[in-house]
Amino acid sequence: MYGKGLRALSISTVVAMTLALGLVFFYAPLEAEQGFLQKIFYVHVPLAIVSLSGFVIGGLLAIQHLRTRDSRWDMRSYVAIHMSLIFGLATLITGSIWAKGSWGHWWVWNEPTLVSFLIVFLLYATYQPLRFAIEDPERQSRYASVFAVTAGAFVPMNFIAVRLSSAYLHPRVLGGTSSLPGSMALTFLVSLVAIALLFATLCKYELTAKHTRAQVRALRRRLSGETARAPRGRSAAPVAAPVKLAAPAGRTSR
């Protein structure tokens, strides 16, 4: 179910990533002030945008879960947030490297964009422990969805608040691609598409892996003659939707 279109998505991601790397290093001109160091912009900013978008998407999927009570939406929301956290970590590391090269410091505490991103990251870092703390799967998914919706609404608010702040030390990107030269804007957009495709592919891999695992468990239960689900240990991951296996041909059910 989840594996449908995975091959096409994977190939598109590899093509887009290769194209983006080619454009970054061999097409986009060197920036006048920062020179070669500015190339980090093409990896750091798309990572940040995709990561924040993933958090918001996680919230939207959680709304769907709360509306329908379908555990598949909870699984999608969980995977989107999980992947956004990884992309967020990469954003923080690449940003830190850029700060060191550009400003001479690994971290600058009086820079609102950096600190606000760290706050969002730390907020979402509590998502997994929250899930892990609740043993009952139904309550776990409901509370996690409420968290995802609330935190997902916080992300754009935080973004707007930083925009409205007076300090403009951090380079502006969204809404400002028109100020970039055409070759830089094109490279940035291709990089953004490549990172977004990478995010989508990894999410799809994760969902497919979880669904396959659930299918294998269901098959094991059937073959060992168990009718009820075995009690699962405490886990932060949501329970996969019940898997329906087709009746085996030529065999009577036990």
DSSP conformation letters of 5-18 = THHHHHHHHHHHHH
Q: Name residues whose C-beta falls within 8 Å of residue 154's C-beta, 6 or more positions apart in sequence.
A: 120, 123
Options 1, 11, 15, 93; binder of other proteins; rule CB under 8 A:
93
User: How near is the Cβ of 97 to other proteins at its closest, in Å?
Assistant: 5
Q: Contact between 216 and other proteins (CB under 8 A)? A: yes
Residues found in the chain? 254
Options 100, 163, 172, 229; binder of other proteins; rule CB under 8 A:
100
CA 208 to CA 200: how far, in whole Å? Answer: 12
CA 48 to CA 60: how far, in whole Å? Answer: 19
State whether residue 139 is helix, strand or coil: helix
User: How near is the Cβ of 43 to other proteins at its closest, in Å?
Assistant: 5
User: How near is the Cβ of 67 to other proteins at its closest, in Å?
Assistant: 31
- Angle between the 71-103 and 137-164 helix axes, to the nearest 10 degrees? 40
User: How near is the Cβ of 191 to other proteins at its closest, in Å?
Assistant: 10
User: How near is the Cβ of 94 to other proteins at its closest, in Å?
Assistant: 4
Q: How far is CA 196 from CA 16, 32, 55, 64, 86, in A?
A: 10, 28, 13, 22, 13
Options 66, 107, 205, 237; binder of other proteins; rule CB under 8 A:
205
Options 19, 49, 63, 97; binder of other proteins; rule CB under 8 A:
97
Residue type, 52: L
User: How near is the Cβ of 179 to other proteins at its closest, in Å?
Assistant: 22
CB 30 within 8 A of CB 36: yes
x-or-dash string of contact with other proteins, 33-72, rule CB under 8 A = -xxxx-xx--xx--x-------------------------
Sites of contact with other proteins (CB under 8 A)? 25-26, 30, 34-37, 39-40, 43-44, 47, 86, 89-90, 93-94, 97-98, 100-101, 198, 202, 205, 209, 212-213, 216, 219-220, 223-224, 251-252
